């Protein structure tokens, strides 16, 4: 995916070298983007437990010997095995994104003010894993399937170029999943869909390619908060009453990710038709 994005970026930069006479940025436009979307890695994230089901997380799941059942620890990513020694896969790999966008710009002298709206699809994921002493692994995973944003932008026209900064509201559709190597307890639910809201900030540069077509490159940082985090009830299943998840409350223990925050870095090429 990185090679593909690099090739597209090189082609776009080659195109912007073509001279164009149009320099008035005022008016409406519609177009699209393609790029690479990468999540920030949160090595401090972990899974939190509510052993007495009082709605307060941060309890320690203990064995009958009062030992911490999750003393092997946590890692950012997906497990390579059912034990902490196997570790986790890297959780900062990104994926591609594509979308459509439209907006309007107003120019006053060299200053250009505008608003842009966009929707896109992607498949970027991030995960966190806990390891128990049994041994077993427990993983929460999030996948962003689509994004939308409305931003303002301010630029400074420099001939056929428009460098700019941009900021605004962003929203994403998030699929949350849970899986474990523990086959004794029951786990519900293991999947749901929610939204995440937040803001975007970024910068880019756009250039006239022809009298009504512009191309550009853009970087965006997104900071989103999940609206309804996935809460997984660890129930009895076939486990005995001495199971660590059942010792405090026989109904089980709730699990949740420690962070509702999603941070993303987007590197794009853009193209627009201007009217």
Q: pLDDT for 157-185, tens place per residue?
A: 999 999 999 999 999 999 999 999 999 99
Q: What is the pLDDT of residue 6?
A: 44
How many residues are there in the chain?
275
Q: What is the pLDDT of residue 92?
A: 62
Distances (CA, A) of 100 to 2, 11, 44, 172, 238: 21, 19, 35, 15, 50
pLDDT in tens, 82-122: 999 999 987 667 899 999 999 999 999 999 999 999 999 99
CA dihedral (75, 81, 87, 93) positive or negative: negative
As a whole-number percent, the residues of the chain with pLDDT over 70 amount to 91
Tokens 């983007």 sit at which residue?
A: 33
CATH number of the 2-274 domain = 2.40.160.20
- Tokens standing for residue 145: 């399937």
- Tokens standing for residue 11: 């082609």
Q: What is the pLDDT of residue 91?
A: 66
Task: Give the model's confidence band at 27: pLDDT under 50 very low, under 70 low, under 90 confident, else very high.
Answer: very high
**Average pLDDT, rounded, for the chain:** 91
pLDDT in tens, 204-258: 999 999 999 999 999 999 999 999 999 999 999 999 999 999 999 999 999 999 9
Residues 6+ apart with CB under 8 A from 238: 184
Model-level pTM?
Answer: 0.87
Q: How many CB atoms lie within 10 A of CB 250?
A: 11
Distance of CA 3 to the CA centre of its chain: 21
Distances (CA, A) of 140 to 42, 54, 95, 160, 255: 13, 21, 19, 47, 9
186-188: strand order across its sheet: 47-50, 253-257, 232-235, 186-188
């Amino acid at each position: 995916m990185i090679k593909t994005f690099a090739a597209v970026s090189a082609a776009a930069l080659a195109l912007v070298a073509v001279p164009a006479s149009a320099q008035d940025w005022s008016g409406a436009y519609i177009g699209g983007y393609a790029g690479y979307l990468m999540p920030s890695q949160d090595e401090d994230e972990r899974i939190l437990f509510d052993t007495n089901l009082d709605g307060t997380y941060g309890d320690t799941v203990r064995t009958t010997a009062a030992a911490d059942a999750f003393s092997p620890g946590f890692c950012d990513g997906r497990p390579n095995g059912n034990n902490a020694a196997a570790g986790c896969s890297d959780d900062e790999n990104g994926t591609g994104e594509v979308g459509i966008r439209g907006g309007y710009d107003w120019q006053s002298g060299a200053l250009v003010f505008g608003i842009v709206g966009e929707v896109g699809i992607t498949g970027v994921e991030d995960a966190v894993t806990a390891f128990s002493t049994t041994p077993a692994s427990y993983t929460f995973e999030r996948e962003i399937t689509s994004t939308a944003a409305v931003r303002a932008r301010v630029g400074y026209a420099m001939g056929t170029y428009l460098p700019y900064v941009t900021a605004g509201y962003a929203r994403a559709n998030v699929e949350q999943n849970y899986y474990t190597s523990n086959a004794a307890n029951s786990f519900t639910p293991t999947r749901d869909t929610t939204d995440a809201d937040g803001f975007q900030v970024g910068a880019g540069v756009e250039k006239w390619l022809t009298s009504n077509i512009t191309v550009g490159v853009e970087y965006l940082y997104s900071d989103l908060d999940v609206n309804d985090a996935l809460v997984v009830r660890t129930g009895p299943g076939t486990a005995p009453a001495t199971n660590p998840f059942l010792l405090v409350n026989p109904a089980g223990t709730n699990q949740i990710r420690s962070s509702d925050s999603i941070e993303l870095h987007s590197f794009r090429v853009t193209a627009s038709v201007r009217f």
